[in-house]
Chain A
Amino acid sequence: MSDEYDNNKSYQAQSSEVIDGSAGSVNPDIDYVRPAEVGEQDLYHGHSFIEKWVFCQDAKVIGVQYFLTAVFTGIVGLILSWLMRLQLGFPGLAGFMTAEHYYQFVTMHGMIMVVYFLTALFLGGFGNYLIPLMVGARDMVFPYVNMLSFWMFFVAVAVLMASFFVPGGPTGAGWTLYPPQTILEGTPGSGMGILLMLISLSLFVIGFTMGGLNYMITILQARTRGMTLMRMPLTVWGIFTATVLAMLAFPALLVSAIMMTLDKVLQTSFFMPTILKAGEVLEYGGGSPILFQHLFWFFGHPEVYIVALPAFGIVSDLISVHARKNIFGYRMMVWAIVGIGGLSFFVWAHHMYVSGMNPWFGFFFATTTLIIAVPTAMKVYNWILTLWRGNIRINTVMLWCLGFIVTFVNGGITGIFLGNVSVDVPLSDTYFVIAHFHMVMGIAPLMVIMGAVYHWFPLVAGKMLHEGLGKWHFWITFLGAYSIYFPMHYLGFIGVPRRYFEMYDSPYMTSAVGMNEFISIAAFIVGAAQFILVFNIIKTLKTGKKAEQNPWKANSLEWYTSTVPPEHGNFGDRLPVVHRWPYDFSVPGAKDDFIPQTTAPSEVIHTEVEKT
């Protein structure tokens, strides 16, 4: 298999006559691929600059638009975390920082990172770019709706950012937005701030629904010939399952946002109990704050897996490619992704152990929570077994993958602590929880994003990112992230509560002050290190080495497009035909150590590979 994409071989058998005799070596029995079921997609090519780059209907451009917008919000979130750490490590150093500001920064940091950064980046960014390429489609099935999806997201981000500039500032109720305090006077941003947040979330859900329908239908109904479900790259499986979760979980967020908006604007009492304020009874009465918590976490917990599952999928592909070995237990990996996705709908109340719900309810949710550890552990074992005796290349991408595995195991184990009611009760609302979820759904998926950027940048831009800078970026981030979050576990054990602006003269101060300073300095360094990537990208785009086609010698379809970077329509005149899974690496007897998905079995007849 040469690096050049061989059109004659790969595009054979386009008609319903599978073998047209033009490719002499093709064996009709073992190379049979079902005839085309779906006709050619009707594509609209943009004519003007606006149609090509702004209101573009090409999923790849939309993916990059999503990516850049999400990264912009991510940088805002990063700056907010710096400001928080400045206050926690060196109280009073920043003169402008009041308690109100601190709460607003906490809230916006959380919401931005979870929803507008990670979700949008994985599903909007990587999903849009990779799904059509990986399943062998020309574009998403509804390009126009896909374009609307991005612009809806863009408006959502704009509304969110606008809340920084309204009177009272953004909401400071914590990213969980628990009523009643969220919309009551005294909470920062309880006026316009919370309103804009709720509107922004609703817009995000609407925009995401449009995108999610595209991802799902493209994966289900628009795969190329030969691409069975069990030949899809795990990236696609991860993004697909995450999309399913999002389609079923975001409704709860939308509904709770609508209800809280009405509570705020029309003084309804969906979530508002009878409230005494300074001796006076407020207008509200009879509502249930716990209802909001249930709705929110019915969204909130699947949301964790909406972020994690694409990361699981992507990292599986990266490990397989860079260890030159097929993924261990592919089917197990697929079912683990699907199983985690299904289970994630039955664990939400483990976020509510201290809400005063029935202890038996907690028992149920503790059980389901711990059951999720089973498929998750299977995935970790499979990643390690994929590395086992592989031809591992310690390049930047692999470093990020290894960093992910370690970090994920770390955060997963503390998750088992917190899943148990009796352990969670003393630890909830301490820094232990902060350390746990930053490890498991902050740093770990971020490592995958970084790995994926280094991996797919040659495809998107046609140039190789600088390896040396990438390694510096990795090591500073990896060691720095551990310097930040390892001590936080200890802070949690000694009982330092989260979301506190200042510890004042509490006994925590004596033992926690040095540690907080250390964490803060590490956080500044790690945050700054992320700009190494920005610099690397700018430098590479200007002077970087031109990438050859398929620089990593991968098998999946995105590397076998007609041009690099792929043009609108992705695959030239004829769509590729798939004959195998994307993990045929280091096959004994094969000429190269990789066999592209488009290679027919008869072309590798002397190898010991089974038809998958």
Chain B
Amino acid sequence: MSEQKIDGFELKPGFKGMASDTGSDQTMFKGVHWGKAMMWIFLLSDTFVFSCFLISYMKGRGSTIVDWPNTSEVFSLYVGGVPVPLLLIAIMTFVLITSSGTMALAVKYGYEKNRKMCGWLILATAVGGLTFVGMQVFEWSKLIHEGVRPWGNPFGASQFGSFFFMITGFHGFHVSIGVIFLFIYTYKVFAGHYESKKRGWFTKMKGDYVEIEILGLYWHFVDLVWVFIFAFFYLW
């Protein structure tokens, strides 16, 4: 990845200015790192993936012949014999959103070249993500224990289990990939690869703290998707 240099480039005002800047030579998004632009476009594509999943879910839920299970009962936890709806989900959401906060701070400290703080915060984000995945495993095993299967469940329409496992599974897969990369980046930051300009294991390219921000974009996106899944699955 190359370094960005813009010598005295000023964006022109107004719509015409925007149009001429956009169409001008070399770069369309002035000063935007290649990797960052790539991640944004990848996330746009991934948005379409999740949109297709969620729209299919809406269509599936709207056209089943059997009633949909009562989600506030299915997803409740018993605390001292009292069912508390959405308790686990609330904690999961809290953990994931918090990890978004630590990620944002890690990006900030990364750009300030505060290697130690940056590394600890990425590690905290990774631990948050891992906690989330762990709680999701707990939730899945609880539901499976209660008889929910991808092909059917005792509470209502069989599509409930199908869509639930598929969509939360696909999201959990995204979180897991993110966690793996967070651990890798934790190592890279603590080992000082960005200062020493050490070349990557696979790509043979020199890294930069902008990579932390790129990973951050992905992480925030995964959080945002969770908010939608939360709304569509648990609140609907």
| Interface 1/0 per residue, B1-34 and A, CB below 8 Å | 1111111010000000000001111111111101
From A37, A286, A578, contact of B30 by CB (8 A): A37
Complex Cα spacing A230 to B24, Å: 8
CA distance A252 to B32 in the complex (A): 29
Could you tell me if A35 and B159 are in contact, using CB atoms closer than 8 angstroms? no
A:127-166 near B, CB below 8 Å: 141-145
User: Which residues 5-59 of A have a CB within 8 angstroms of B?
Assistant: 16, 33-42, 44
Which of B51-59, B84-92, B178-186, B187-195 is found at the contact surface with chain A?
B51-59
Q: How many residues of B contact A (CB 8 A)?
A: 55
Contact A286 B66 (CB under 8 A): yes
> Which of B37, B49, B166 makes the CB contact (< 8 A) with A217?
B37
Q: How far is the CA of A227 from the CA of B60 in the complex (A)?
A: 48
Q: Are A209 and B52 in contact (CB under 8 A)?
A: no
Q: Are A251 and B25 in contact (CB under 8 A)?
A: no
Min CB distance, A548 to chain B, in Å?
30
> What's the nearest-Cβ distance from chain B to residue A236, in Å?
13
Q: Which of B7, B22, B38 contacts A16 (CB 8 A)?
A: B7
- A-B pair count, CB < 8 Å, reads 169
Q: Does B203 contact A (CB under 8 A)?
A: yes
Interface contact B6-A37, CB-CB below 8 Å: yes
B69 within 8 A of A: no
- Contact of A268 with B by CB under 8 A: yes
Pick from B2, B26, B202: contact of A224, CB below 8 A. Answer: B26
Q: Are A37 and B42 in contact (CB-based, < 8 A)?
A: no
- CA A259 to CA B52, docked complex, whole Å: 11
**Given A34-B26, A259-B166, is A286 in contact with B159 using a C-beta cutoff of 8 Å?**
yes
Closest B residue, CB atoms, query A222: B34
The answer to whether B108 has its CB under 8 Å from any CB of chain A is no
Number of interface residues of A (CB under 8 A): 60
> Which of A287-295, A482-490, A603-611 has 4 or more CB atoms under 8 Å from chain B?
A287-295
Say yes or no: is B157 at the interface (Cβ < 8 Å to chain A): yes
Determine whether the beta carbon of B22 is less than 8 Å from that of A229.
yes
What sequence of 0s and 1s flags, for each residue 166-181 of chain B, a beta carbon within 8 Å of any chain A beta carbon? 1000100000000000
The complex places the Cα of A487 from the Cα of B4 at a distance, in Å, of 59
A41 & B25 in contact (Cβ 8 Å cutoff): no
Q: Which residues of B lie under 8 Å from residue A16 when comparing CB positions? A: 7
Contact of A228 with B159 in the complex, beta carbons under 8 Å: no
B50-104 residues with Cβ-Cβ distance < 8 A to A are 51-53, 56, 59-60, 63-66
With most chain A CB atoms within 10 A of its CB, the pick from B53, B150, B206 is B150
Contact B5 A251 (CB under 8 A): no
Among the listed B2, B46, B65, B202, which residue makes an inter-chain contact with A285, where contact means beta carbons less than 8 Å apart?
B65
Q: In the complex, are the beta carbons of B162 and A141 less than 8 A apart?
A: no
Asked if B34 contacts A286 (CB within 8 A), the reply is: no
Q: Does the CB pair A252–B6 fall under 8 Å?
A: no
Q: Is B204's beta carbon under 8 Å from chain A?
A: yes
Q: Mark A376-403, 1 if CB is under 8 A from B, else 0.
A: 0000000000000000000000000000
Which residues of A does B touch, CB under 8 Å?
16, 33-42, 44, 141-145, 209, 212-213, 216-217, 220-231, 247-248, 250-252, 254-256, 258-259, 262, 266-270, 274, 283, 285-288, 291, 295, 298, 578
